[in-house]
Amino acid sequence: MATGKRKSQSLLNGAMVLAAATLIVKIIGILYKIPLSNMVGAVGRGYFDSAYNLYIPIYTISMAGLPVAVSKMVSQQMALQRYRDVRMTFKVAARLFLITGTAGTLLLLILSYPYAYLAKSMEALPAIFAITPSIFFCCIMSIYRGYYNGLRNMTPTAMSQVWEAAGKVVFGLACAKFSITYGYSRFEQGLTVYGQTVHNEAEAASAIYPYAAAAAAIGVTVGTVIGMIYMMILYKIKGDGITREELAASPRPASSTSVAKSLMGLAVPVVASSLVFSVTNLIDSMTIQNRLATMIENNTDLIRDMYNAQLSVSNILNADIPKYLYGAYTMSLDFKNLIPSITMTLGVSAIPALSAAWALKDKLQLKNSVESVLRVTMMFALPSGIGMGVLAFPILQMMYETGKSADAVSIAAPIMAAYGYTIFLISLSQPMTNMLQALGKAKVPVYSLSIGAIAKVVTNYIFIGIPSININGAVIGTIVCYTIIVVINLISLLRTTKVKLDYMSVAVKPLFCSVLCGVAAYTSYGIFNNILPDITKGGHSFTNILATLIAVMFAVLVYGISMLLVGGMVKEDIIMLPKGEKIAKTLAKYGFIE
């Protein structure tokens, strides 16, 4: 194995690397799901997301705990200069991942039919089968991701995520386009469409949707293969940076059996925590779709009247209405998941830093790490969420106005707005979970997630069953769930670390400036949307696009200036950013920080 120069990053520096990659990945994901939704419509999108919701819990069982365990063990071993243990951890983890990847793939196949039956979504089966192999490839890829994260080098993980996302877009959209073109060509020739006899275009579309979703899912599998190959090649060429001299001076390593037991001991609580979260989402998906289908069966005419304008435009069959509303709901999730996926990187990056501080009993580093993660999470989540809330409709209109999902924008926008105003809760949950895991308190997130999950399922059942609320009830359940999780996790985190938070810096100042940010976004959009000339080309309203982009830029400017004026930025956080010393000196020069 090649051995290159070892690269180590600070907590926030590593987080920034992952955050930048995550942002790129999410942008690529939007570039994937927007044209996909425009191709397959809300119904086809519903099938795709239904399959994805089963995939995530099995993915979690297969590999969620081991990367965290590897990262934690490697970071502690590196801090104690036990380099031979580092190498042993990698070898043992590789064997464990091979086993869990194979088992996870088989488990997904076994559960596919029961899940589709209970969710009243048998049409999602082709998509489930298409995405199944990616479990195995993800596990192999995560051997290297966990290892490099433990070495406090987040760049390999970041780059593999970008390659994985790019592969998903290219192959997913190409396969989906081919499946749709093929299906309609069969219909135009008067032939069966994917084995079904159809009599009109609406029936042909209904027959095509499941296979278009499956074709898109193939892209997910191909993307994981590309990401895996990238990590394998990188490791072969670059290695881990541990020198022969360091290995020679290192104490004798623990046995492979001992390392395996330690890894599993760390991984099981993490898996349990992540599994509760993923199973909650799976149950959430099943209860939403099942409850929605049952409610619509009993109130078809009422629901048809409520959404008559949207359903008529897309010529949706009564049997497809549940999937149509669920697909509209998932359109809002693209943006709801964007912000937490970025703040999650703070928690991932905090694991090695907190683990090392905990192992060395460095109380000051422990306090600085906890406060930095919470503060930066709020500084990012609050303005982003409020901005997303006030601009929900123009953003969705900008993305979907020319495709088959354009009519669903009016349904998705209020859901996206509600999530925007409460996104800080979701954004805080995962970093808190990661920090508790790094501190050896992995049981606490399991406890909080379990209570939140139960509350979510009950709330979903009650509110989605009310015809006038229908799919909007899913938002209520999510907010209740994450409020419970954040409150319990925060109390435990502060008790464990004995950190006294500066709430003015962590929450009050970012909230005040974020409200100003939201006001700026709302007013500037309204002004520019009215004064700009009406420019429409190819179905796109360039007036809306320009007004939205101007509103976003104006909001960012207002937020940045207001944070500087109220002293909302902390020197320690800035220093840990790339080129932070230089930025901090410049801000200090003008009196914005001490």
Q: What is the DSSP letter of 253?
A: P
Tokens 């949706």 correspond to 316
CA gap 114, 119 in Å, rounded: 9
pLDDT of residue 524: 93
DSSP per-residue codes, 124-140? GHHHHHHHTTHHHHHHH
Helix (H) or strand (E) holding 537: strand 536-537
Cα 575 to chain center, whole Å? 27
For 30, 154, 238, 250, the CA distances from 2, given in Å and listed in that order, are 37, 19, 6, 19
Helix (H) or strand (E) holding 355: helix 338-360
How many secondary structure helices (H) and strands (E) does the chain include?
24, 2
- Structure token digits, residue 112: 């596919």
For 45, 186, 291, 474, 480, the CA distances from 329, given in Å and listed in that order, are 10, 31, 14, 9, 18
**Beta carbons within 8 Å of 66's beta carbon, 6+ residues apart:** 93, 96, 97, 100, 142, 146, 263, 267
- Structure token digits, residue 250: 């290192």
Q: How many residues does the chain have?
A: 594
- Structure token digits, residue 61: 């069982």
Q: How far apart are the first and last CA of the chain?
A: 47
Q: What pTM, to 2 d.p., does this model score? A: 0.67
For 38, 280, 402, the CA distances from 538, given in Å and listed in that order, are 14, 42, 8
Q: Which of 472, 482, 474, 386 is nearest to 427 (CA)?
A: 482
Q: Which of 3, 73, 76, 8 is nearest to 245 (CA)?
A: 3
Q: Which of 276, 216, 214 is nearest to 60 (CA)?
A: 276
Q: How many other C-beta atoms can be found within 10 angstroms of the C-beta atom of residue 501?
A: 17
- Residue 509 near residue 567, CB atoms below 8 Å: yes
- Structure token digits, residue 260: 């395996």
According to DSSP, the residues that pair with 193 across neighbouring strands are 196
pLDDT of residue 1: 47
DSSP per-residue codes, 210-229? HHHHHHHHHHHHHHHHHHHH
For 178, 185, 205, 292, the CA distances from 314, given in Å and listed in that order, are 21, 20, 10, 19
The vertex-578 CA angle with 70 and 340, nearest 5°, equals 60
Burial 529-538 (b: 16+ CB within 10 A, else e): beeeeeeeee
**Beta carbons within 8 Å of 290's beta carbon, 6+ residues apart:** 118, 119, 120
Q: How many other C-beta atoms can be found within 10 angstroms of the C-beta atom of residue 491?
A: 12
Tokens 């979907």 correspond to 400
Q: Which of 330, 333, 39 is nearest to 205 (CA)?
A: 39
Amino acid residing at 540: H
DSSP per-residue codes, 139-173? HHHHHHHHHHHHTT--HHHHHHHHHHHHHHHHHHH
Amino acid residing at 433: T
- Structure token digits, residue 452: 């939140």
Cα 337 to chain center, whole Å? 5
pLDDT in tens, the chain (594 residues): 445 555 555 555 555 666 666 677 777 777 777 778 778 777 888 888 888 878 877 776 665 667 777 877 887 788 778 888 888 888 888 888 888 888 888 988 998 888 888 877 788 899 999 999 998 998 888 888 878 877 777 778 888 888 888 888 889 889 999 999 999 999 888 889 888 888 888 888 888 989 999 998 998 899 999 999 998 998 888 877 777 888 888 888 888 888 888 877 777 766 665 666 666 677 777 788 888 888 998 888 898 888 888 888 777 778 888 888 888 888 887 777 777 777 776 666 666 666 666 667 767 777 777 777 888 888 889 999 999 999 999 988 887 776 677 788 888 899 999 999 999 998 888 888 878 877 778 788 888 988 988 898 899 889 998 998 888 898 998 899 999 999 999 999 888 888 788 788 888 999 999 999 999 999 999 999 888 887 776 556 678 889 999 999 999 999 988 988 887 777 666 665 555 567 767 777 766 666
3-class state of residue 584 by DSSP: helix
Exposed/middle/buried for residue 247 (C-beta within 10 Å: 0-12, 13-18, 19+): middle
The vertex-160 CA angle with 155 and 162, nearest 5°, equals 95
